[in-house]
């Protein structure tokens, strides 16, 4: 009964546009109120305990690092490097948008931040060169979604926090799938650009590649520190994020000198607010998942799923379908917290390991960021391209199709996710 | 009608006056909160980076850095969430409400504020109770009262409530002006 009330309230509050965190919080509180007064005390305690975590500290820290790099002129250097690498291809600028987003994904842990950072340079550039607005916006949104696949990745940090999976291994597992997604998107871009008749920006020249590589060296240092540090076992994900913040401050203030001390408060405040939106959802959802746990709901749902089928392929497809639908309508962090406890008990029946499951889940949610009406990457792109959501939504379809194929490959071909983690971070 | 007219304008004036006062408080609180976010966020990055530095360069692990960092994280998360609320930046699912006729949409918007205010009141009431409840418990590494980190929940609840009342009154007043 209380569970029914919980889900009824949740859907009702979601539907009338109560902010997601508050909707989750208040529905859980209503359900708990039907139990006892003591549980109300515990619910505030859960909110605190939900955010009091060392791994989660990486969320604001990676936001700080990304925002500082962006303000320090790193995006522009990365775009120039990508331009020298792939600008010669048909639909050059659009490929540059994807490849830049891949590089930026190595610095930023958020797909929305990735889309905004690269898109604010490349969407206007594409429109200038005669690309259609809807195509420019769609390409950038698709590229930006890789931001949460190539490490660092905030959804992966949250997955690690929820399941106890090693965040280092999760990060390592995201590298190859991220590259696969990026390259397949570039192929799609070239094919579409041939049809639409978009040209290239420059002829390929090794000299230009080398000069832009030289200029981007400091920018590329950030992913090397983050990944190298974590994969080399030198520090934890949280520590790597703090080191990245200091690195970004140093490079921005003293090397590139494009970061100004007077801008620091604004950068830190805005990034802290961005991360608080995620953290507040985690806090409120901690009450929710506590309630589910004491009512043994995940067990019930798992039992139901397994009574339908125990075939691992059907189960995997089913999980993907559920995640895609959830990713379309619910914000990423909330989807993770609501669904991971339900999916986790099925893991032994899936024939994959925890890290691969995490990667599959995050890829699904990344695709959810590209689907209307709530795709965050789509919305960011839309506002930069000053285009209608419905137009961009049409142009995103071919990219979605490609990413769904990638998703199937990632789901059913485990070496893609296990190769790098097993190579650099073997489990004992 | 003639007797109701002036009375209504007086009520309106009192309400407007009250609204301006609350709005000012809300803005002032928000400014202080934003600055503390900068200070706390910067401190958190420095503390965790120092932890790495001590471990590798000085070969000496800090015992307090992790606990302090986690406390800062909780403070940043809840205070930041109030700023996000003030900026209307919390993510919601608005495509159903957007499709409704303007009049009904406004009524629903008012309803969402009322529900949110209930949640904030719970954060304040039970947050305060719990803060007092754990007054004598000491944190393991720093040895300070556990009430200190926990107090951010009732505190942010108060900030949320003030911002929420402002947003609610804004909606109601802009509706009554139409």
Instruction: Report pLDDT digits (tens) over A312-325.
Output: 899 999 989 989 88
Does the beta carbon of B70 lie under 8 angstroms from any beta carbon of chain A?
Answer: yes
Interface of A with B in 336-395 (CB under 8 A): 373-374, 376
Closest of A267, A340, A345, A281 to residue A64, by C-alpha: A267
User: Are A21 and B90 an interchain contact pair (Cβ–Cβ within 8 Å)?
Assistant: yes
Determine whether the interchain pair A22/B115 forms a contact, defined as Cβ–Cβ distance below 8 Å.
yes
Cβ-based contacts of B93 with chain A (< 8 Å): 14-15, 17, 20, 329-330, 374
- pLDDT band at A172, cuts 50/70/90? very high
The whole-angstrom distance between B169's CA and the closest CA on chain A is 17
In the predicted structure, residue A310 carries a pLDDT above the cut 90: no
Å from B22 to nearest chain A CA?
A: 22
pLDDT at B168 over 90: yes
A261 touches B: beta carbon within 8 Å = no
Determine the pLDDT at residue B124: 96
Cα–Cα distance measured from residue A353 to residue A79, given in angstroms and rounded to the nearest whole number: 36
Q: How far is Cα of residue A324 from the mean position of the Cα atoms in its chain?
A: 14
Q: Which is more confident, A38 or B156?
A: B156
Global pTM? 0.90
| Out of A19, A61, A268, closest to residue B38 by CB | A268
Cβ distance A242 to B93 less than 8 Å, yes or no, reads: no
The token duo for B81 is: 């969430």
Number of neighbouring beta carbons within 10 Å of residue A208: 18
DSSP string, A323-391: HHHHHHHS-HHHHHHHHHHHHGGGHHHHTS-HHHHHHHHHHHHHHHTTSTTT-HHHHHHHHHHT--HHH
Interface test with B, best of A31, A238, A266, A272 (most B CBs within 10 A): A272
Shortest alpha-carbon distance between residue B9 and chain A (Å): 32
Give tens-digit pLDDT for A361-412: 999 999 999 988 778 898 889 889 888 888 888 899 999 999 999 999 999 9
Report the residue of chain A nearest B32, measured CA to CA. A269
Chain B positions touching A51 (Cβ under 8 A) are 73-74, 77-78
Structure tokens at A194: 């041939």
Average pLDDT of every residue of chain B: 89
Closest Cβ–Cβ partner in A60, A242, A269 for B34: A269
Partner residue facing B96 (CB), from A15, A26, A331: A15
Q: Is the dihedral of CA A372, A374, A375, A378 positive or negative?
A: positive
Residues A13, A27: Cα–Cα separation, whole Å: 8
B163 min Cα distance to partner chain A (Å): 14
* pLDDT for the residue numbered B99: 86
Of A320, A409, A412, give the one whose Cα is nearest residue A366: A320
What's B79's DSSP letter?
H
- DSSP bridge partners of B145: B138
Interhelix angle for B102-133 vs B152-177, to 10°? Answer: 160
Q: Which residues of A touch B160 (CB under 8 A)?
A: none
Nearest residue of chain B to residue A332 (CA atoms)? B91
**Exposed e or buried b per residue across B44-78, where buried means at least 16 C-beta atoms within 10 angstroms of its C-beta:** bbbbbbbbbbebeeeeeebeebbbbbbbbbbbbbb
How many domains does the structure of chain B reveal? 1
pLDDT confidence of residue B1:
44
Instruction: Please give the residue of chain A at the shortest CA–CA distance from B94.
Output: A17
Nearest to A44 among B35, B42, B127 (CB): B127
> Rounded to the nearest 10 degrees, what angle do helices A415-424 and A167-196 cross at?
140
Per-position DSSP letters for A257-323, written without gaps between them: ----GGGHHHHHHHHHHHHHHHHHHHHHHHHHHHHHHHHTHHHHHHHHHHHH---HHHHHHHHHHHH
A47-101 pLDDT per residue, tens? 999 999 999 999 999 999 989 988 988 888 999 999 999 988 888 899 999 999 9
Q: How many CA atoms lie within 13 A of A172 on its CB side?
A: 23
Instruction: Please list the helix, strand and coil fractions of chain B in percent, rounded to the nearest 5, in that order.
Output: 80, 0, 20
What residues have CB less than 8 Å from B147, skipping those under 6 apart? B131, B132, B134, B135
B93/A54 touch (CB, cutoff 8 Å), yes or no: no
Q: What is the mean pLDDT of residues A185-196?
A: 93
Q: Is B123 on the interface with A (CB under 8 A)?
A: yes
Q: Using CB atoms within 10 A of its CB, is residue A372 exposed (0-12), middle (13-18) or buried (19+)?
A: middle
The interface pTM score, or ipTM, of the predicted complex is 0.92
Full domain range(s) for residue B163: 4-176
Peptide bond into A415 cis (omega under 30): no
CA A45, CA A234: separation in Å to the nearest integer? 34
* Nearest chain B CA: its distance from A339 CA (Å): 18
Average pLDDT of the segment spanning B120-130: 94
- Model confidence at B87: pLDDT above 90: yes
- Distance between start and end Cα atoms, chain B: 19
Could you say which of B74, B109, B111 has the minimum Cβ distance to residue A51? B74
Question: Would you state the pLDDT for residue A38?
Answer: 67
CB contact under 8 A, A26 and B118: yes
CB A350 within 8 A of CB A305: no
Q: State both tokens at B78.
A: 């809840």
What pLDDT score was predicted for residue B138?
87
**CA distance linking residue A107 with residue A110, whole number of Å:** 9
SS3 assignment, position A191: helix
> Which A residues 297-316 touch B at CB under 8 Å?
none
Q: How far is A98 from chain B (nearest CA, A)?
A: 26
**Residues of chain A positioned with their CB less than 8 A from the CB of B149:** 48, 52
Structure tokens at B97: 């409400």
Does B30 reach chain A within 8 Å, measured CB to CB?
A: no
Structure tokens that stand for A255 in this block: 């090397």
* H or E segment to which residue A28 belongs: helix A20-33
**Alpha-carbon gap, residue B105 to B103, rounded angstroms:** 5
Phi-psi region of B83 (alpha: psi -120 to 50; beta: other; left: phi over 0): alpha
Average pLDDT over residues A135-146: 94
- What residues in B contact A57, CB-CB < 8 Å? 44, 48, 69-70, 73
Whether A174 shows a pLDDT value over 70: the answer reads yes
Q: Say if the Cβ atoms of A16 and B37 lie within 8 Å.
A: no
Give the C-alpha separation, A279 to A230, whole Å.
23
Distance of CA B164 to the CA centre of its chain: 9
Q: Do A54 and B70 touch (CB under 8 A)?
A: yes
Report yes or no: A128 at the B interface, CB cutoff 8 Å: no
| Confidence at B2, pLDDT banded by 50, 70, 90 | very low
DSSP state of A146: G
- Cα distances (Å, whole numbers) of residue A393 to A31, A96, A381, A390, B98: 38, 21, 11, 5, 18
Task: Judge whether A116 and A380 are in contact, CB under 8 Å.
Answer: yes
> At what angle are helices A264-295 and A38-51 packed, to 10 degrees?
130
In percent, the amount of chain B with pLDDT more than 70 equals 96
In chain A, positions 198-237, which contact chain B (CB-CB < 8 Å)?
234-235
Residues B118 and B172: their CA atoms lie apart, in Å, by 18
* DSSP assignment letter at B145: B
Tell me the torsion sign for CA atoms A272, A278, A280, A282.
negative
**Is residue B157 within 8 Å of B121, Cβ to Cβ?**
yes
């Amino acid at each position: 009964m209380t569970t029914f009330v919980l889900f009824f309230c949740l859907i009702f509050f979601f539907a009338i546009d109560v902010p997601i965190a508050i909707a989750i919080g208040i529905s859980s509180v209503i359900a708990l109120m039907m139990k006892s007064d003591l549980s109300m005390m515990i619910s505030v305690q859960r909110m605190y305990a939900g955010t009091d975590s060392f791994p989660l500290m990486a969320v604001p820290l990676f936001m700080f690092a990304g925002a500082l790099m962006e303000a320090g002129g790193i995006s522009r250097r990365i775009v120039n490097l990508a331009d020298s690498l792939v600008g010669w291809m048909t639909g050059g600028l659009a490929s540059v948008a994807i490849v830049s987003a891949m590089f930026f994904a190595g610095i930023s842990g958020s797909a929305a931040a990735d889309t905004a950072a690269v898109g604010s340079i490349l969407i206007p550039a594409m429109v200038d060169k005669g690309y259609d607005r809807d195509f420019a916006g769609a390409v950038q949104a698709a590229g930006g979604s890789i931001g949460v696949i190539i490490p660092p990745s905030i959804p992966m940090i949250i997955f690690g926090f929820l399941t106890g999976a090693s965040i280092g291994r999760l990060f390592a597992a995201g590298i190859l799938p991220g590259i696969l997604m990026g390259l397949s998107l570039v192929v799609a871009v070239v094919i579409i650009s041939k049809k639409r008749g978009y040209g290239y920006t420059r002829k390929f020249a090794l000299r230009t590649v080398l000069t832009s590589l030289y200029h981007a060296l400091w920018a590329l240092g950030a992913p090397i520190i983050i990944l190298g540090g974590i994969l080399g076992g030198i520090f934890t994900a949280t520590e790597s994020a703090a080191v990245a913040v200091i690195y970004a401050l140093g490079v921005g203030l003293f090397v590139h000198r494009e970061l100004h001390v007077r801008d620091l408060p604004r950068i830190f405040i805005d990034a802290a607010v961005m991360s608080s939106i995620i953290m507040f959802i985690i806090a409120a959802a901690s009450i929710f998942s506590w309630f589910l746990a004491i009512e043994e709901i995940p067990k019930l749902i798992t039992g139901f799923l397994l009574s339908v089928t125990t075939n691992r392929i059907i189960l995997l497809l089913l999980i993907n379908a559920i995640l895609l639908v959830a990713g379309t309508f619910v914000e990423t962090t909330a989807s993770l917290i609501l669904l991971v406890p339900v999916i986790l008990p099925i893991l032994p029946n899936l024939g994959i390991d925890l890290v691969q499951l995490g990667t599959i889940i995050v890829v699904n949610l990344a695709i959810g960021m590209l689907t209307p009406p709530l795709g965050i990457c789509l919305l960011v792109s839309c506002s930069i391209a000053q285009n209608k959501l419905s137009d961009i939504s049409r142009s995103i379809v071919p990219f979605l199709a490609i990413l769904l194929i990638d998703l199937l490959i990632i789901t059913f071909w485990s070496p893609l996710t296990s190769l790098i983690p097993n190579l650099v971070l073997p489990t004992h | 009608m003639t007797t109701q007219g002036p009375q209504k304008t007086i009520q309106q004036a009192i309400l407007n006056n009250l609204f301006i006062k609350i709005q000012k408080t809300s803005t002032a609180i928000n400014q202080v909160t934003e600055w503390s976010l900068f200070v706390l966020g910067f401190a958190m990055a420095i503390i965790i980076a120092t932890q790495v530095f001590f471990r590798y360069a000085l070969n000496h692990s800090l015992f307090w850095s992790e606990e302090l960092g986690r406390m800062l994280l909780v403070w940043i998360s809840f205070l930041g969430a109030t700023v996000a609320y003030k900026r209307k930046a919390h993510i919601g699912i608005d495509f159903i409400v957007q499709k409704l006729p303007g009049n009904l949409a406004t009524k629903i918007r008012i309803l969402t504020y009322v529900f949110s205010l209930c949640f904030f009141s719970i954060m304040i009431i039970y947050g305060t109770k719990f803060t007092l409840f754990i007054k004598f418990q000491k944190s393991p590494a720093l040895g300070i009262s556990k009430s200190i980190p926990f107090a951010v929940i009732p505190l942010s609840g108060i900030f949320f409530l003030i911002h929420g009342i402002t947003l609610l009154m804004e909606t109601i007043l802009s509706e009554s002006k139409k």
